[in-house]
Amino acid sequence: MLNEEQNEQELFEHFRFDVDPGQKLIRIDKFLFGKIENISRNRIQNAAKAGNILVNGKAVKSSYKVKPADVISIVMSQPPREYEVIPQDIPINIIYEDEDIIVVNKEAGMVVHPGYNNYEGTLVNALRYHIDQQYPNHGPEIEANLVHRIDKNTSGILLVAKNELAQAKLGKQFFDHSIERKYIALVWGDFQEDKGRIEGHIGRSLKDRLQMTVFPDGEYGKHAVTHYKVIERLGYVSVVECQLETGRTHQIRAHMRYIGHPLFNDATYGGDKILKGTTFTKYKQFVQNCFKLLPRQALHAKSLGFIHPTTGEKMFFDSDLPQDMQSVIEKWRDYAAHREV
List active site positions: 151
Beta bridge partners of 96: 103
What is the phi-psi region of residue 160: left when phi exceeds 0, alpha when psi lies from -120 to 50, beta otherwise?
beta
Quickly list DSSP for 33-100. HHHSTT--HHHHHHHHHTT-EEETTEE--TTPEE-TT-EEEEEEEPPPPSSPPPP------EEEE-SS
Return the closest-CA partner of residue 96 out of 319, 246, 323, 274.
319
155-161 and 299-307 beta bridge pairing: parallel
Residues 245, 183: contact at Cβ < 8 Å?
A: no
H helices of the chain, in order, are: 28-35, 41-49, 123-134, 164-175, 251-258, 281-293, 323-338
